């Protein structure tokens, strides 16, 4: 049974800004022109505007729009209806004039609304009937009408140039895969889908690494594409759909990967010349290749020969893609100073490099942009407040339009949507739908297995109070700081978004917690908060990023570092009494410091992420303890005897420990293939519990391929 509609105000018309709402006719007007608006968006408008200033919950909207006994995809349906309403009102969720979003709660109408009395029709009145007149008068009137008609056309064109263009809408979500395999790496620009119209090709996680899989667009089982490579990153598909362009991401720590050609459907794999790059793609005619390497963009022939540099940047470019007409390239540019990035464009001749969305709010990150066939639209993913959705921008220029329009959001959760890829006919988007989640696990030395810890809490960066009764941690994937009892009970939230927090450390007296945190678009800084809760205090007023704070055993100082990508990272000491900062001797090129519980040593990782280094306060010298292909998080054992760390191996990830005094290296535990490490704020996290048992956060995220059917204007 349908729920009765919300009673309308006594007046049959509402007015706000330049808009009029005719409740009796069910119409929306702006400056005398009727705005096309479907029934559900109109009902939402009426409900919100009649309760201006109040929060209308998503549950209220659900009962208002859909009968309780009808099954619908409520979340996507409501999000789509609100998006259409915002389009009609030329409103933005980031800077709303009319409809404010309250995440996970509902919406609020924030404009002033007036009820107006009965007036003449909102529509323009019909012109009066013509009367006879002399010939000269008729000619004069004809010229006047012609001039008036030209003016009307011009005004209409100018109005159209200022009005929002019609955009595609998503009308249906279809899940294509349901195999539970990993389909998305933590780094967005490595997650590339390509399609030949019948199949989708992508890299999926497997026991040996990442391999190419082919998925029918109609759904069903995926089929592996044979290849000898073990860390494949799919980049592009040839225009005749006979071969894939892939990178081998498993080769050492070299940032520029070698490139290969994989013949389809299951032919040989061959090296593409001597090409090494950070992303590459073929032009629409298949004759040219664009690629990123180091801090530059290059162009070459399709076989990798006759290369030339297009442009060099202060940041690091990744994954260039061609526009259908071959005139433009889009790419992702990573800013090492802010640890963030976004989409850029450049002409194919190397001129006019520019950020696509320079005015977007700080902390937003755009990525993975592709043009639809014909170049009419540009679709991309954008991450804001920890959520990733698909956006679209109209590209085609008309007589009255001088440039691209403002982008419009297409998806609104509840899952993240990554790597939007248009179908060859432009009527669908293929994307990875992701629900991020982690599970805490502890290594049981008796069974030699990782078992669930603290009820499988989705958290990282655990640190335990000195009395071993409480634990501080960062919730995953939200990035908020919490404290609880050891069993996970009595949870207290210490920080709130948009402040993102990580790697908490209890003070020796148990009264404070130091952690690193960042505001949207800002650098990571050191904060301290009372362990019972309160307001976080920023300790060092500086523009330089500050990483990985650790307390001295006496609690009178903090040690911290800089990000590994910093041009000259070093280890620093903060005297908490004087607030003076000094540098640890000869610590240039090191980061991620860890102070030993007995106060004698500091362990750190080298900038190349390959070495564990040890500083002895007695000798005032550093010593190299470990050299590996890759070194992860460090953790001291309770009695300062060992330094634990995780490191990548051919069989996955292993936990090691090295003696602080005898320098003996031991493998403590290995992660079997079914257990994948979740990628947290600073990569995969590992640590120790109060008994020195290794901890990790297992990745329990769900990633599947979806087809998003578009309604084209």
**pLDDT of amino acid 354:** 95
Q: Per-residue confidence at 161, pLDDT binned at 50, 70, 90?
A: very low
Q: What is the mean pLDDT of residues 108-127?
A: 62
Eight-state DSSP code of residue 675: -
- Which of residues 121, 155, 185 is at a domain's end? 121
Residues contacting residue 604 through CB under 8 Å, at least 6 positions apart: 561, 571, 587, 590, 591, 592, 593, 594, 612, 613, 615, 634
Please give the sequence-ordered ranges of beta strands (E in DSSP) within 315-415, or none if there are none. 316-322, 328-335, 340-347, 354-355, 365-371, 377-384, 387-394, 408-409
Give the pLDDT mean for 628-644. Answer: 94
Q: Are 681 and 502 in contact (CB under 8 A)?
A: yes
| 42 within domain boundaries | yes
Q: Which residue has the higher pLDDT, 572 or 131?
A: 572
Domain boundary (643, 670, 693) is at 643
pLDDT above 70 (res 271): yes
Q: Which domain holds residue 95?
A: 13-121
Among the residue ranges 30-39, 154-163, 471-480, the one predicted with the least confidence is: 154-163
Indicate which CATH number applies to the domain containing 67.
1.10.10.10
Q: Is residue 421 part of a domain?
A: no
pLDDT at 253 over 70: no
520 contacts 529 by C-beta, under 8 angstroms: no
**Per-residue confidence (pLDDT) for residue 135, from 0 to 100:** 43
> What is the mean predicted confidence (pLDDT) over 59-66?
80
In whole angstroms, what is the distance from residue 429 CA to residue 424 CA?
10
Rounded distance between C-alpha atoms, residue 18 and residue 574, angstroms: 57
pLDDT at 62: 81
* Percent of the chain predicted with pLDDT > 90: 56
- Give the 3-state secondary structure of residue 623: strand
CB atoms within 10 A of CB 170: 21
Lowest mean pLDDT among 141-145, 194-198, 485-489, 610-614: 141-145
Q: Is the pLDDT of residue 456 over 50?
A: yes
Separation of alpha carbons 426 and 628, rounded Å: 47
pLDDT mean over 318-323: 96
Does residue 290 lie within any of the structural domains? no
pLDDT recorded at residue 396:
62
Which residue from 271, 272, 280, 365 is spatially nearest to 317, judged by alpha carbons? 280
CA distance 431 to 419: 5
Cβ–Cβ under 8 Å, residues 634 and 675: no
Q: What is the rounded CA–CA span in Å between residue 353 and residue 297?
A: 11
DSSP 92-114: -SSS-SSEEEETTTEEEE-S--E
Instruction: For the chain, give the mean pLDDT.
Output: 85
pLDDT for the residue 30? 86
Asked whether 404 and 391 are in contact (CB, 8 A), the reply is: no
Report how far residue 653's alpha carbon sits from residue 5's, in angstroms, rounded to the nearest whole number. 58
Residue 77's φ and ψ, nearest 5 degrees, are -65, -45
- Work out the pLDDT band at 24, boundaries 50, 70, 90: confident
Burial 229-257 (b: 16+ CB within 10 A, else e): bbbbbbbbbbeebebbbbbbbbeeeeebb
Please report the pLDDT score of residue 133 as a whole number.
Answer: 43
Band the pLDDT of 650: cuts 50, 70, 90.
Answer: low
Please write the tens of the pLDDT for every residue from 669-688.
987 655 578 888 888 899 99
Residue 490 forms part of a structural domain: yes
User: Do residues 403 and 176 lie in contact, with contact meaning Cβ atoms separated by under 8 Å?
Assistant: no
Q: What is the CATH number of the domain that holds 519?
A: 2.120.10.30
pLDDT bracket for residue 79 (50, 70, 90): confident
pLDDT number for residue 672: 66
Q: Which of 582, 621, 574 is nearest to 601 (CA)?
A: 621
Q: Which two tokens stand for residue 291?
A: 């690629």
Residue 399 to residues 95, 149, 160, 402, 441: CA-CA distances in angstroms? 29, 18, 10, 8, 61
Give the number of other Cβ atoms within 10 Å of residue 588's Cβ: 12
Task: Among 643, 666, 692, identify where a domain stops.
Answer: 643
Compute CA distances 538 → 165, 496, 561, whole Å. Answer: 45, 15, 16
pLDDT tens by residue, 142-157:
445 445 554 444 444 4
CA 666 to chain centre: 37
Q: How many Å apart are CA 91 and CA 99, to the nearest integer?
A: 7
Question: Residue 501 falls within a domain, yes or no?
Answer: yes
Q: How many CB atoms lie within 10 A of CB 2?
A: 12
Q: Are 344 and 356 in contact (CB under 8 A)?
A: yes
Q: Is 209 exposed, middle or buried (0-12, 13-18, 19+ CB in 10 A)?
A: middle
Of the two residues 182 and 160, the one the predictor is more confident about is: 182
Burial 330-345 (b: 16+ CB within 10 A, else e): bbbbbeeebebbbbbb
Residue 162 three-state SS:
helix
pLDDT tens digits, 435-446: 989 999 999 999
CA–CA dist 132, 142 (Å, integer): 13
For the stretch 330-359, pLDDT in tens is 999 988 777 788 999 999 999 999 999 988
Over residues 18-30, mean pLDDT: 87
Query: Is residue 355 situated within a structural domain?
Result: no
Number of domains comprising the chain: 2
Give yes or no for residue 252 having a pLDDT over 60: no
Residue 21: inside a domain: yes
**Is 664 a member of any domain?**
no
Contact 443, 669 (CB under 8 A): yes
Q: What is the pLDDT of residues 522-570, one digit of tens each?
A: 889 999 999 999 999 999 988 889 999 999 999 999 999 998 878 789 9
């Amino acid at each position: 049974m349908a729920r009765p509609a919300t009673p309308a105000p006594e007046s049959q018309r509402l007015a706000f800004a330049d808009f009029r709402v005719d409740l009796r006719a069910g119409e929306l007007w702006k400056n005398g022109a009727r705005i096309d608006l479907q029934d559900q968006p109109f009902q939402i408008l009426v409900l919100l505007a009649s309760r201006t200033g109040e929060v209308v919950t998503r549950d209220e909207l659900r009962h208002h729009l859909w009968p309780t006994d009808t099954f619908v995809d409520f979340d996507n349906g409501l999000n789509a209806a609100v998006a259409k309403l915002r389009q009609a009102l030329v409103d933005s969720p980031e800077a709303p004039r009319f409809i404010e979003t309250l995440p996970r709660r509902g919406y609020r109408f924030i404009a002033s609304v007036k009820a107006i009395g009965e007036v003449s029709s909102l529509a323009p009145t019909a012109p009066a009937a013509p009367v006879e007149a002399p010939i000269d008068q008729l000619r004069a009137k004809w010229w006047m009408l012609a001039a008036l008609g030209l003016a009307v056309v011009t005004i209409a064109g100018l109005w159209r140039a200022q009005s929002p263009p019609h955009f595609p809408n998503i009308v249906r979500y279809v899940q294509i895969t349901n195999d539970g395999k990993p389909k998305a790496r933590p780094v967005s620009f490595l997650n590339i889908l390509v399609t030949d119209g019948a199949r989708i090709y992508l890299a999926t996680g497997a026991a040996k690494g990442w391999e190419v899989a082919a998925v029918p667009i109609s759904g069903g089982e995926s089929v592996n594409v044979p290849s000898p490579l073990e860390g494949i990153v799919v980049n592009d598909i040839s225009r005749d759909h006979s071969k894939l362009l892939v990178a081998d991401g498993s080769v050492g720590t070299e940032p520029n990967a070698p490139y290969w050609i994989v013949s389809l459907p299951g032919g040989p794999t061959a090296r593409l010349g001597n090409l090494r790059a950070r992303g590459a793609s073929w032009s629409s005619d298949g004759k040219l290749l664009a690629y990123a390497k180091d801090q530059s963009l290059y162009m070459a022939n399709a076989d990798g020969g006759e290369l030339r540099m297009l442009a060099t940047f202060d940041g690091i470019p990744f994954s260039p893609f061609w526009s259908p007409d071959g005139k433009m390239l889009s790419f992702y540019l990573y800013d090492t100073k802010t640890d963030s990035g976004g989409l850029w464009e450049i002409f194919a001749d190397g001129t006019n490099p520019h950020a696509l969305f320079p005015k977007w709010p700080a902390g937003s990150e755009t990525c993975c942009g592709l043009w639809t066939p014909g170049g009419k639209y540009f679709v991309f993913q954008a991450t804001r407040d920890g959520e990733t959705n698909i956006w679209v921008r109209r590209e085609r220029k008309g007589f009255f339009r001088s440039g691209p329009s403002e982008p419009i959001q297409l998806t609104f959760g509840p899952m993240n949507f990554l790597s939007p890829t248009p179908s060859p006919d432009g009527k669908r988007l293929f994307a990875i739908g992701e629900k991020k989640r982690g599970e805490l696990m502890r290594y049981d030395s008796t069974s030699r297995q990782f078992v669930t810890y603290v009820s499988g809490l989705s958290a990282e960066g655990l640190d335990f109070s000195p009395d071993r009764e409480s634990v501080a941690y960062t919730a995953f994937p939200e990035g908020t700081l919490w404290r609880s009892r050891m069993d996970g009970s009595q949870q207290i939230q210490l920080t709130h978004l948009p402040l993102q927090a990580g790697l908490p450390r209890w003070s020796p007296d148990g009264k404070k917690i130091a952690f690193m945190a960042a505001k949207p678009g800002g650098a990571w800084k050191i904060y301290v908060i009372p362990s019972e809760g309160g307001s976080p205090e920023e300790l060092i007023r500086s523009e330089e990023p500050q990483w990985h704070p650790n307390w001295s055993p006496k609690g009178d100082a903090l040690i911290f570092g800089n990000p590994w990508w910093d041009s000259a990272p070093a280890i620093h000491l903060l005297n908490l009494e004087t607030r003076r900062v000094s540098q640890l001797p000869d610590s240039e090129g090191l980061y991620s410091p860890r102070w030993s519980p007995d106060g004698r040593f500091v362990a750190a990782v080298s900038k190349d992420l390959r070495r564990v280094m040890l500083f002895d306060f007695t000798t005032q010298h550093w010593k190299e303890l470990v050299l590996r292909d890759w070194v992860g998080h460090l953790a001291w054992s309770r009695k300062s005897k060992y330094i634990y760390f995780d490191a990548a191996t051919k069989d996955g990830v292993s936990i090691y420990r090295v003696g602080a005094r005898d320098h003996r290296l031991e493998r403590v535990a290995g992660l079997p293939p079914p257990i994948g490490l979740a990628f947290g704020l600073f990569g995969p996290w590992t640590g120790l519990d109060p008994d020195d048992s290794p901890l990790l956060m297992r990745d329990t995220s769900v990633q599947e391929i979806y087809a998003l059917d578009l309604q084209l204007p």
